[in-house]
Chains A and B, each alone.
Chain A
Amino acid sequence: MIKAVMVINTQGKPRLAKFFEYLPLEKQQELIRNVFGVLCSRPENVSNFVDAESIFGPDSRIVYKHLATLYFIFVFDSSENELAMLDLIQVLVETLDRCFKNVCELDIVFNYSKIHTILDDIICGGQVLETRSTEILRAVEEISKLEAAPNAITLIPKSASGWLSR
């Protein structure tokens, strides 16, 4: 299962952190710092995998992607395929990119809760929920529409869900 998803900027500021196993706040911050400590000292042109056992305990791996000013980091255990996790980061980034039209760090900072909505549609309880960015975007847009409508619930015709089934 996936243990945590983090987005940290190159200064070490967390921009998104979601832990799928409960950890106390101080521990979360410590892990974020440690992960950043490892990543910022890694040269370019090396593999995207890091041994995480010293940080997260036994049976844990890190895969990360460094894009512009951000590190996208997934922490997971041996039941996940490392290369597939790398693709999943790609899915997350692609979705963000489509959602914000050329996503940058500021988009993530200011749309904090929307990013969480997106993440919740990709990973749920540490398991992969959906891997197609079109599908993820559709779900997120639906939620945004509901949020925008003043009396959201009554406005939804029940058949509106029909488009989702294939």
Chain B
Amino acid sequence: MNPFSSGTRLRDMIRAIRACKTAAEERAVVRKECAAIRAAINENDQDYRHRNLAKLMFIHMLGYPTHFGQMECLKLIASAGFPEKRIGYLGLMLLLDERQEVLMLVTNSLKQDLNHSNQYIVGLALCALGNISSAEMARDLAPDVERLLQFRDPNIRKKAALCSIRIIKKVPDLAENFMYPASSLLKEKHHGVLITGVQLCTDLCKVSSEALEYFRENCIEGLVRTLREIANSPYSPEYDVAGITDPFLHVRLLKLLRLLGEGDVDASDCMTDILAQVASRTESNKNAGNAILYECVETIMSIEDNGGLRVLAINILGRFLSNRDNNIRYVGLNMLMKAIVVDAKAVQRHRATILECVKDSDASIQKRALELVYLLVNESNVKPLTKELIEFLEVSDQEFKGDITAKICSLVEKFSPEKMWYIDQMLKVLTEAGNFVKDEVWHALIVVISNASELHGYTVRALYRAFQASTEQESLVRVAVWCIGEYGDMLVNNVGMLDIEEPITVTEFDAVDAVEVAIKHHRLDLTTKAMALISLFKLSSRFPACLERIKDIIVQNKRSLVLELQQRSIEFNCILQKHQNIRSALVERMPVLDESTLSGRKGGSLPTVPTSGITPCNLPNGVAEPAAAPIGDLLDLSSDDVHASISSGGDFLQDLLSIDLSPASAPSGTSQPPKAGTNVLLDLLSIGLPALAESSSSALDILPSIQDNEAPLANLNGLASISSLPANATSPASSGGMMDLLDAFGPIPQNHEENGPAYPSIVAYESSSLRITFDFSKQPGSPQTTFIQATFTNLSPNVYNEFLFQAAVPKFLQLHLDPASSNILPASGNGSITQSLKVTNTQHGKKSLVMRIRIAYKTNDKDELEEGQINNFPHDL
């Protein structure tokens, strides 16, 4: 009958299951058993009921459904015998959950058992209640549990205490009933009861601020005394774990003290002495001692500031890091991560030890340590720390490289003191782990290189060297190929030689060879090869001597099976052969890429635009990646049929060529300064046409310039002057294109013209220092979309630098922010910044617009932050 002693049938079942060789066999055995149990249940078999339930629990653990046994649990609980009750409660805890209706039926049995004369049955009931109590049960049975907190037997008292925790978690309102009984548990001498009592108080503090106050006022001294007693108590083997008296009680007491001390200076003062004692006197050569120290440190960190204690605490963590036990190092790092918020300076002192942990043999410790180092880096220590990390990158495991590379790149980008250093570090990372470098990281590097004109020569030579050493790292090859294409002439002529450089002799043929390697290397992917092809094409005008060879290589690719390469090589070949006159103009060096947009992205000024959005760093050399799409975004052309071919092209160099090669649109090619409507588009796309080089930059400025001018009509004039009014000379079709172009630029002026201001402007935000006004407009046909022109005015006498406007909207809205016209806002309203927003209301007509805004800026070298919510939008937007 008894599953412990005479349950042979249970043993038989377990044996049978263990003997199964396959899952199918096991299922068969379980199915047979379940069938037999169901049959027994149907016959209402009393004798084997509790053995059957024991079997069901085993079957449940193996993952088979056992719901049909639930009622059996209730029957067993209701029976009189202890073994039946015991197995019934066990089944109740394992097979049922608080949401099931069946549970309602058990409340009555529980109530009876809580009042049973046999204390073991009371214990069973308490244990079950503590595990599965629902809110209703908690309400019904709370008085019984509360009474049991004063039961004569300590085993019942401690179970009742834990049961109370479940009750107050389920029904926080009941907390006040338990406050007084709980505080009397703190005076217990029995360690088990004391542990559970302290735990109950801790949970009471969490659910009820009233309880927290009560314990603060009445119990701190008692708790401190108890902690002192157990900390000082002589060795007593009964409670001892590894030479420390009852570490669990220590831990629980420290936790409760932490809750009481947090945010309360007086309470914190009461406990500083004992915390100092625990922190300095606890043995730290065993796990149990370290558990106490660990808890003590957390308490010291959380309670109100006491400088001396905190240093002590952080030093303990520092010691943890050099402990031989992995677990101790692991928790030490975890805690330092929290401590860095409290006292970064003290943590900095342990930098060397933390760096050692990055090289730990345990991967999870490495990971933690790396995260911690990442948090420790600042402007002053970025150089040595990056050096360490890069050295570590060289020896780290493959699976760890991705993580560490990402961290180094982000650090270097965030804290780099000078461009040369940035480029150097990035080169090291690319050489070491280029395959792990994310696309946006090497895009950013190219932008930086392009902006550092004095370092072009240095960079291209360094890249050439690295490339010669290894072609293993894809992104290194890409950056190298791009730079050779752009600055190849500097490579061969040692232009801009720096003192620290070793001279290097590279002939023009060597440079072409290098690029050829990239094209022919079997392991490099399409993007790299496409970049190499462009690079080669660029070199064709830089190195006239190599022209024939370059042609050869390009011609070889005409047979490429990859469409992209084939098309490019055919097009390039065509230009090389038939369009000598425009070639040098076509392959002019890229205009300097816009770094401010990049740094804007870093600073998060474009929160609603996807990170890869409009940053020009996505377009190094017309890579076949989604380069054109962002430009489309920028100009908002995507909806426009006329320009569909351009935005869908994927590669604007191709577009350029398709226009060039079809004389219909521009009969004389692009050799003469193009001013026709289509060419303005080319301008906008900032293709490296020499004749357009200047105007292209101005064209790119159009967007901001629109925002600069407050009078919308002026914009029209501005635009017209840029394009030199080709409409006069060209066919209606192209002037239609012109109109589209204007559409694309800013529907605001157009709207103004056609519809007039349909919506009143609002002052969206006004403080003593700043005013923001919103002007609204909509495009006919899309009532959901509202264009907002935000104008910022400085009301203070100081200039605002690094002005940054951010906005957030609820889910039913979509928000798109264009870059602001400037990030400097002149003082006293002497000028303003404008910024365009586009809001699409998916619940148009049902809900009106709402927006949270945040404005950050620097004034007098101080960071300022203003926040607000805009609710006064016109209703029908």
Segment 144-196 of B: residues with Cβ below 8 Å from A: 152-155, 158-159, 162-163, 165-166, 189-192, 195-196
- Name the distance in Å between A92's Cβ and chain B's nearest Cβ: 13
Is B11's CB under 8 angstroms from A82's CB? no
List chain B residues, Cβ under 8 A from A144: 4
Q: Does A164 contact B (CB under 8 A)?
A: yes
Q: A124-B131, A127-B162 are in contact. Are A82 and B331 (CB under 8 A)?
A: yes
Across the interface, do B63 and A112 meet the contact criterion of CB distance under 8 Å?
A: no
User: Does the CB pair A148–B5 fall under 8 Å?
Assistant: yes
Q: B127 to chain A: which residues have CB within 8 Å?
A: 120, 124
Which residues of chain B are near A47, meaning CB under 8 Å?
326-327, 329-330, 362, 364-365
Residues of B within 8 A of A22 (CB): 97-99, 132
Q: Is A125 a contact partner of B163 (Cβ separation < 8 A)?
A: yes
| B90 cross-chain contacts in A, Cβ below 8 A | 113, 116-117, 120
- Please name all residues of chain A whose beta carbon is closer than 8 Å to the beta carbon of B327 when the two chains form the complex: 47-49, 82-83, 86
Closest Cβ of chain A to B145, distance in Å, is 12
Task: Please list 27 pairs of residues, one from A and one from B, whose beta carbons are closer than 8 Å in the complex, sorted by A's number.
Answer: A17-B61, A22-B99, A22-B132, A45-B362, A46-B326, A47-B326, A47-B330, A47-B364, A81-B251, A82-B334, A86-B287, A87-B247, A87-B288, A87-B291, A117-B90, A125-B130, A125-B133, A127-B196, A127-B199, A130-B195, A131-B248, A134-B238, A135-B192, A146-B82, A146-B86, A152-B81, A166-B190
- In the complex, the answer to whether A128 meets B199 with C-beta atoms within 8 Å is yes
B163 touches A81 (CB 8 A): no
Nearest first, the 7 closest Cβ-Cβ pairs linking A and B are: A83-B291, A125-B130, A22-B97, A47-B326, A152-B82, A29-B63, A46-B362
With A148-B5, A158-B117 given, is the CB distance from A81 to B65 under 8 Å? no
What 0/1 readout, one digit per residue, does chain A (23-41) give for beta carbons within 8 Å of chain B?
0011011000000000000
Is B58 touching A25 in the complex (CB atoms < 8 A)? no
CB neighbours (8 Å) of B329 from chain A are 47
Residues of the B chain whose Cβ atoms lie less than 8 Å from the Cβ of A86: 287, 291, 327
- Decide yes or no whether B80 CB sits under 8 A from chain A: yes
Residues of B within 8 A of A164 (CB): 153-155
**Is A143 an interface position by the 8 A CB rule?**
yes
Establish whether residues A130 and B192, one from each chain, have CB atoms under 8 Å apart when the complex forms: yes
> A66 an interface residue at 8 Å Cβ cutoff?
no
Interface residues of B (CB under 8 A from A): 2-5, 11, 14, 18, 54, 57-58, 60-63, 65, 80-83, 86-87, 90, 93-94, 97-99, 117-121, 126-127, 130-133, 152-155, 158-159, 162-163, 165-166, 189-192, 195-196, 199, 238-239, 241-242, 246-248, 251, 255, 287-288, 290-291, 294-295, 326-331, 334, 361-365
Task: Please give, as numbers and ranges, the residues of chain A lying within 8 Å of B82 by CB-CB distance.
Answer: 146-147, 152-153
Given contacts A47-B364, A135-B192, A139-B155, contact A84 B295 (CB under 8 A): yes
Cβ-defined contact, B130 with A128, below 8 A: no
Report yes or no: B81 in contact with A153, Cβ–Cβ below 8 A. Answer: yes
List A residues 69-111 near B (Cβ within 8 Å). 79, 81-84, 86-88, 90-91, 109-111
Residues of B within 8 A of A50 (CB): 364
**B83 pairs with A166, CB closer than 8 A:** no
The smallest C-beta distance from A1 to any residue of chain B, in angstroms, reads 8
Residues on B with beta carbons closer than 8 Å to the beta carbon of A91? 241
Would you call A109 and B18 a contact (CB within 8 A)? yes
Which residues on the B side are within 8 Å of A117 (C-beta)?
86, 90
| Neighbour of A83 across the interface among B4, B5, B131, B331, CB < 8 A | B331
Tell me, in angstroms, the Cα distance from A153 to B155 when the chains sit together: 18
A-B contacts besides A130-B158, A147-B2, 15 pairs, CB < 8 Å? A18-B94, A22-B98, A45-B326, A45-B361, A48-B326, A84-B247, A86-B327, A112-B58, A120-B93, A120-B127, A125-B133, A125-B165, A129-B196, A152-B82, A152-B83
Cα A90 to Cα B286 with chains together (Å): 13
Which residues of A have CB within 8 Å of B199? 127-128
Do A124 and B159 touch (CB < 8 A)?
Answer: yes
Would A28 and B326 count as touching, CB distance under 8 A?
Answer: no
Taking CB atoms and an 8 Å cut-off, the chain A residues in 10-68 that contact chain B are 14-18, 20, 22, 25-26, 28-29, 45-51
